[in-house]
């Protein structure tokens, strides 16, 4: 059986939430790693066995380090709808101009790239479910910047005559351990878990907004599969878009109902909370699509990857505070 060569992989955003879970998996796959991060993000995961250069990914120091890569996973960004809405020029300098500078080096050195995008880019799609072919129609600043990154990634493949990949990620949940530290990401499920003792689950209006939810370990599996695709014979000189999604879509109210119904079993020492609709800080910025759904079938076929984690199975670990993620079946 043909095996891809051992590759040196550069990772930007190397101390972020996703990279913190991905880097040990890449090392276990036999890859050598070149890691950079300015540690400005909301989550910083430090692993002593994997040293990270503290620098802006588009700085000369970082570009010089990353130029020795066979492949780069570009995860670094100023992320979040509100962060980009509040500081559009500053975030664009990082997310768009920084990416452009990184890709100029990649073009010179002929280094393929996998780019971390978001399903926010699709805006209000003309048809559902969303697939890998759904065009970007961004409606807010964060989505526009991610759409610009997608375009730059496709242009890199065209100019460089080598493969690139855009990984559109849906809403990531779950946690993992980094040493003795439980690492998680701020999201609606973590917010509900913190609110349970108060007896109130605060649901941003209108509550019907629907998102696809994918576990962090399944996100890692998708990135590993994209690496295999890029270093393997299937990548060739083309750009590809992949859906990092589970196909499990829930509205915020549906999630709140699941949490409420789980509390008597998981937290019998606490009263059953009540879900309350509260004003949405993203009102007027983020679109509400009650019927939103994603079909990841093409990605599953091309990358030979399937999600192993389901939200209902993971709720005990999230709401009950269990320290270890559920093992893969």
Taking the domains of the chain in order of start, what are their residue ranges? 8-172+213-244, 174-211+248-294+308-319
The pLDDT, as a whole number, for residue 24 is 97
- Per-residue burial over 86-124, b if 16 or more Cβ lie within 10 Å, else e, is eeeeebbebbbebbebbbebbbeeebbbbbbbbbbbbbe
Check residue 261 and give its pLDDT: 95
Q: Judge whether residue 36 has pLDDT over 90.
A: yes
pLDDT of residue 234: 53
Spatial CB neighbours of 224, under 8 Å, sequence gap ≥ 6: 22, 25, 26, 29
- Residue 286: pLDDT band with limits 50, 70, 90: confident
**Any idea of the CA torsion for 101, 17, 86, 113, to the nearest 10 degrees?**
20
For the stretch 133-157, pLDDT in tens is 999 999 999 999 999 999 999 999 9
- For 8-172+213-244, which CATH superfamily applies? NAD(P)-binding Rossmann-like Domain (3.40.50.720)
What CATH number belongs to 174-211+248-294+308-319? Answer: 3.90.25.10
Q: Cis bond leading into 301, ω under 30°?
A: no
Q: What is the pTM of this model?
A: 0.94
Other C-beta atoms lying within 10 Å of the C-beta of residue 236: 11
Q: Are 186 and 195 in contact (CB under 8 A)?
A: no
pLDDT at 163: 92
Extended beta strands in 109-148, E state: 113-118
Residue 5: which pLDDT band, with cuts at 50, 70 and 90? low
Sign of the torsion formed by the C-alpha atoms of 231, 235, 237 and 243: negative
The greatest distance separating any two alpha carbons of the chain, rounded to the nearest whole angstrom, comes to 61
Residue that wins the pLDDT comparison between 259 and 323: 259
Closest CA to 82 of 278, 279, 277, 286: 286
124: pLDDT strictly greater than 60: yes
Residue-wise pLDDT for 212-257, tens only, equals: 999 999 999 999 999 999 988 656 778 999 999 999 999 999 999 9
Q: What is the model's pLDDT at position 284? A: 79
Count how many residues are written for the chain: 329
- Mean pLDDT, rounded, for 303-310: 97
């Amino acid at each position: 059986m043909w095996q891809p060569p051992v590759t040196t992989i550069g990772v930007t955003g190397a101390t972020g939430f996703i990279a913190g879970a991905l880097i040990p998996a890449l090392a276990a796959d036999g890859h050598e790693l070149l890691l950079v991060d300015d540690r400005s993000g909301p989550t910083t995961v430090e692993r002593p066995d994997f040293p990270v250069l503290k620098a802006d990914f588009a700085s000369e120091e970082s570009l010089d380090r990353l130029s020795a890569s066979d492949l780069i996973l570009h995860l670094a960004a100023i992320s979040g709808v509100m962060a980009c809405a509040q500081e559009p020029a500053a975030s664009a300098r990082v997310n768009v101009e920084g990416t452009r500078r990184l890709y100029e080096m990649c073009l010179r050195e002929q280094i393929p790239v996998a780019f971390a995008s978001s399903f926010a880019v699709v805006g209000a799609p003309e048809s559902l479910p969303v697939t890998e072919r759904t065009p970007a129609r961004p409606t807010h600043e964060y989505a526009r910047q991610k759409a610009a990154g997608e375009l730059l990634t496709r242009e890199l493949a065209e100019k460089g005559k080598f493969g690139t990949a855009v990984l559109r990620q849906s809403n990531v949940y779950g946690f993992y351990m980094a040493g003795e530290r439980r690492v998680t990401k701020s999201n609606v499920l973590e917010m509900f878990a913190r609110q349970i003792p108060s007896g109130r689950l605060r649901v941003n209006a209108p509550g019907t907004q629907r998102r696809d939810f994918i576990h962090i370990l399944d996100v890692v599996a998708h990135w590993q599969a994209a690496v295999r695709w890029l270093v393997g014979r299937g990548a060739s000189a083309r750009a590809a878009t992949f859906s990092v999604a589970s196909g499990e879509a829930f509205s915020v109210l549906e999630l709140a109902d699941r949490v409420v119904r789980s509390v008597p079993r998981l937290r019998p020492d606490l009263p059953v909370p009540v879900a309350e609709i509260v004003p949405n800080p993203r009102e007027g910025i983020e679109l509400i699509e009650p019927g939103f759904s994603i079909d990841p079938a093409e990605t599953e076929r091309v990358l030979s990857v399937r999600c192993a984690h389901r939200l209902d199975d993971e709720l005990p670990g999230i709401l009950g505070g269990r320290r270890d993620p559920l093992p893969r079946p």
